[in-house]
Amino acid sequence: MQLNLKSLFWNGIFVLVLLSICWLIYASGKRIDYNWNWERVVPYIATNAESSINAPEDGEIVLAANNQLVLENLSGDVIVELGNYSSLNVYEGDLIFEGDTLASIEEWRMGPILHGVITTVKISAWSLVFALVLGLFIGLMRISSNPALKKLSIVYIELIRGTPLLVQIFIVYFFIGTVLDLERFTAGVISLSVFTSAYVAEIVRSGIQSIPKGQMEAARSLGMNYPKAMMYVILPQAFKQTLPPLAGQFINLIKDSSLVSVISITDLTKAGREVVSGSFAPFEVWFTVAALYLILTSGLSWAIQALEKKLSASD
Amino acid sequence: MKNIIRAEKVNKIYPNGCHALKDVSVNVDKGEVIVIVGPSGSGKSTFLRTLNQLETISSGAIEIDGIDMYARSTDINKLRQDVGMVFQGFNLFPHKTALGNVMLAPLKVANRPHSEVKKDAENLLNKVGLADRQTNYPNHLSGGQQQRVAIARALAMTPNIMLFDEPTSALDPEMVGEVLDVMKDLAKEGMTMVVVTHEMGFAKEVADRVMFMEDGELIVSDTPENFFDAPSNPRLQKFLSKVL
């Protein structure tokens, strides 16, 4: 009972502190004479406003065989079928020029911010996979007894960790991207995965080195060669050990992905910047963007915790 | 009879200059049980580990079943499948169940079919008295049980030789017996065994020959009767007076 009261008291303190921080933010928001307009952000996330269907090229509206209106171009091919739209702006026999409004439609569409979220998720997911594979190899090279492999990996790790990610993105996009003719997205994935892999390599190395030497000896004494012993005995154990630091690194990866906006990839951050200039609601937009990043990172962190829990069956 | 293990003038010098093995020569016949005793730091574990090349040697020669371990053409991974090893610290794979530990090498090294491997592994666990512990993870087993799983794991590759590196030293006293019993059964079945241990009772009862090592030298190699009851070497006498 005594203990219960005490924990209740301190939990109360915790809630109180959080509430007062929220109040402070709210109060300072009031002080600066800023017109908070949260509803202005919503259409940029998702909207069901009417959108118009425009003619892709010149043509004529004709009645097709199934008694539906279609747009035919000048050579007589059907390019837009209008039967599915409820509100039509054109009639049979109308002459249509490129860009004319044919019909309007009301449906839920993703706004630029959600498109940004998708780009951020895509770029982070690709980079995560490549960073993991690359980091594993560099990490294995790092513990190799072969001096060439070992020194190459040390140079790689030091070089990548010793330079800022922003600079690396510029180098990959403007130099390597020009030489190899890379797309923006590819350049973004390359720079993010190369950067993260250097950290993953160090995590992998420490994970492998934390496995007792006897494990390798036992595996080898059963006749396994080095790669098999690594694959079936050492790495599964090391993987479990390295999950918490890997989770941290991958959360960093998601956040670092915001830097690719400098090479004009419309990720969540760049979408946020664009929406600010359209909506004139910078505070609301940036808070929304922050919340969306938080959802992404906590989702990943939750997934890794679930995996950790699953792997702890043997503890 | 042909020697199944032949070690000739084996020397081991560590990079720091420590001379761990000095001209150790041992021949073991098929089915023989050799027990090596000696004070700690005498090189007995090092010698045992040279027999499956967990330690490399500086000079000398080792032949297992007539195959020169250090010949260029020798596949050490192949040779190791013929030499099972049991460690002082068990070294079970903690991410695998007892059954998984025993099955791993036959599945991944010998590439045998899963159902067959599983049946053999169950038989092996049954043999070491752990039929009801198949699905337990090593961390949920007692030390004695873990060591018995480790023995089953080493037997899974059907080796001709078993090496035991102080298999009972890390065990609580009440669990030493169960492990030694499994080893005695193995010896009765005619397994060739080299055992490094401090269990003098086991040496007396099971060994065909007992060897005494000190300071990297093999000093005495004799039958258990002569070794324990009529030791002639003064250094052995001194050692025995301490441990018996």
Q: What is the mean pLDDT of chain A?
A: 89
Q: Which of A221, A240, A307 to mutate to test the interface with B (most CBs of B within 10 A)?
A: A221
- Of the candidates A303, A282, A314, the residue with the CA atom closest to the CA atom of residue A29: A282
* A237 lies within 8 A of chain B by CB: yes
> Cα distance from A313 to chain B (closest Cα, Å)?
8
Q: Which of B56, B92, B93 to mutate to test the interface with A (most CBs of A within 10 A)?
A: B93
Here the tokens at position B221 are 């190699």
Task: Compute the distance between CA of residue B110 and CA of residue A69 in angstroms, rounded to an integer.
Answer: 70
Residues of B in contact with A223 (CB under 8 A): 77-78, 80-81, 105, 109, 157
ipTM of the complex: 0.91
Which of B88, B95, B166 to probe the A interface (max A CBs under 10 A)? Answer: B95
Answer yes or no: do A218 and B95 touch at CB < 8 A: no
Displacement of CA B109 from its chain's centroid (Å):
21
A306 CA to centre of own chain = 20
The per-residue pLDDT for B1 is: 54
Distance from C-alpha of A195 to C-alpha of A254, rounded to nearest angstrom? 12
| Model confidence at A104: pLDDT above 90 | no
pLDDT at A148 over 90: yes
Give contacts of A224 with chain B, Cβ < 8 Å.
Answer: 77, 105, 108-109
- The residue among B84 and A53 whose pLDDT is bigger is B84
A271-314 pLDDT tens trace? 999 999 888 888 889 999 999 999 999 999 999 999 999 888 87
State how far the alpha carbon of A201 is from the alpha carbons of A145, A190, A205, A241, B10, in Å.
16, 16, 6, 14, 40
Dig out the tokens for B101 from the structure. 């530990």
d(CA A244, CA A254): 16
pLDDT number for residue A37: 81
B91 vs A215: CB contact, 8 Å cut-off?
yes
pLDDT at A235: 94
- Partner-chain contact B105 A223, CB within 8 Å: yes
pLDDT confidence of residue A243: 92
The verdict on a CB contact (< 8 Å) between B96 and A240 is no
pLDDT tens digits, one per residue of B129-164: 999 999 999 999 999 999 999 999 999 999 999 999
Nearest to A221 among B80, B94, B95 (CB): B80
Q: How many alpha carbons lie under 13 Å from residue A149 in its C-beta half-sphere?
A: 10
Which residues neighbour B115 within 8 Å (Cβ) at sequence distance 6 or greater?
none
Are B149 and B179 spatial neighbours (Cβ–Cβ below 8 Å)?
Answer: no
Interface residue ranges in chain B relative to chain A, Cβ cutoff 8 Å: 52, 54, 77-78, 80-81, 83-85, 87, 89, 91-97, 104-105, 108-109, 137-139, 150, 153-154, 156-157
pLDDT at A167 over 70: yes
3-state secondary structure A118-163: HHHHHHHHHHHHHHHHHHHHHHHHHCCCCHHHHHHHHHHHHHHHCC
Mean pLDDT of chain B: 92
pTM of the model: 0.80
Answer yes or no: do A225 and B77 touch at CB < 8 A.
yes
d(CA B128, CA B136): 15
Q: How confident is the model at residue A1 (pLDDT cuts 50, 70, 90)?
A: low
Residue A75 has pLDDT above 90, yes or no: no
Listed residue (A70, A75, A190) closest to A126, CA to CA: A190
8 A C-beta contact, residue B2 and residue B49: no
Instruction: In whole angstroms, give the CA distance from residue A182 to residue A172.
Output: 9
What pLDDT is attached to residue A91?
80
In this prediction, residue B243 carries a pLDDT of 84
The residue among B76, B91, B140 with the most chain A CBs within 10 A of its CB, best to mutate, is: B91
Judge contact between B80 and A221, C-beta under 8 A.
yes
Instruction: Check CB contact of A225 with chain B, cutoff 8 Å.
Output: yes
Ramachandran quadrant class, B185 (left: phi over 0; alpha: psi -120 to 50; beta: rest): alpha
Task: Note the pLDDT tens digit of each residue in A237-253.
Answer: 999 989 999 999 999 99
If you search the block for the tokens 């090391």, which residue do you land on?
A: A238
Q: Is A22 helix (H, G, I), strand (E, B) or coil?
A: helix
Q: Using the beta-carbon criterion (under 8 Å), do A212 and B91 form an inter-chain contact?
A: yes
pLDDT tens digits for range B204-223:
999 999 999 999 999 999 99
